Structure 1
């Protein structure tokens, strides 16, 4: 990745021998930079997928509806600092309600604030300015910890949901609540990470407080442990609707904020070697890797044998096709069972409905 997410920012290439690559088409040059992360704008853009584009309008709608309920104009810029803090406090109260729809509407409104109230901004720079300002106001008022509690609640609700366990196929709608919660947590974490490099920032005390908060357990476990448990559920197939990409991105950024990146690792290694009387490292492995040519890993022994024996590969392809066909048959059976279950439920309701109609007629 580069400064704009596409090109290389710099770095020397290692010299290639003539026999290193016989065919450039088989092993093309990959343009990348070996670093912790890209620019903040690109890292935030990485959070969203194309399928989430319609949900941006839902965030705006939630914001406008809540502002109307609070008797405020639907323009964040026109409000005073006191009015903004009052609205955030009311949104936090909504997050504590038992009604799921109200709770998630407040979460969408907070997500819209964390995104910089983009609908009323005239430029990207203006949106980035308000996003930064809102993020630190949200964190200062306890939004991060409130959303961690929401995340725990949603994980438990998703894991114990009998409806989710009966569904044959997961859809994008199944992860809507989790995606909203993880997006808010990610945006706060990413801004904290970026702000930590600005030594003259007026928010340095909040950055330090955020690092300390990450080292404090929420309930029984640390937040990174909770995210790793989510990854475990995804890999085990018990919660396939969890948004894996957002979980991994949030986990990655939390580790960068709390533990540091490549530079911090290098400094730590040097201090430890000096402490135990070891000679300093003559050649930095990370610096060597930055200049290496990107290439695919060598083929395994099994792949080489299969390529040399076409008949064996053909048998494997046939076996794979038979497994796919068996799976499709099983899916059809499951769909039939599901339809039978629905028909039974409808049959149970029909006598009740007819009795109700008789009573109404009387």
Structure 2
């Protein structure tokens, strides 16, 4: 059976020639790219012969049941990212199609951004820049906090959460963790409410699912020590953004740094825009040269394994399939 890769993922500089170079055993490989402005419904014929599908990153182009039913020969749907929001992985499992992701490739990049965001908030980088840029001088209004004096709560302790913890350890801060599956001996694991209620800085590295959607809401934010900070480089939907804005207005939260949002791009009417106490980033915390190099390596290795008849790594829907 000839291999046919259908990509919803914009290949950028991962060219068709490069895919062929990394899959030399497939001289008859067929590659179809569905552009990010194209309607996947126009590609049902191509999907009918697809053996490997690269999932979209955009939730608006999500592979749901109709598209899954159009790809009866598919042996793998590969997310070209850590997240896999671009595919209904439960429905895929029901159809016997494994869905895999690429965990860890940008863990260092996101962890670096996260710690940098904490320092940005604690040391008033933006205010200091504005003062000098506007002709001012001196430390007035810029008294910050030492990261070493903070208690940092990490919600979600996967590859990225652990990478953040290692960096925070180097500053001498106390780290507490909430995760349903403790994975690192010696860490201080607490319940969700205990973690939030005792953290000067709360950093979120959670997946988005029915359990975590809207998790950090008004009630939970009210338990954060007054004047605490919130950092989110995980999934935007885990925070109730309107509640966060109100907490910032009241002083319950002193500042927030956000790389991800419930709706992306961030709507113009968002109450988080135009604030001096919020750092906004366009879902780019994991974007570095090194991370992209690791992504490519993992992607090519996975595709090679699958076309050679091996089981794909990092399948995220095995439990659903077993059910």
TM superposition score category, shorter chain reference: under 0.3
Structure with greater Cα Rg: 1
TM-score, structure 1 as length reference: 0.21
Q: Report which of the two has the higher share of strand.
A: 2
TM-score, structure 2 as length reference: 0.23
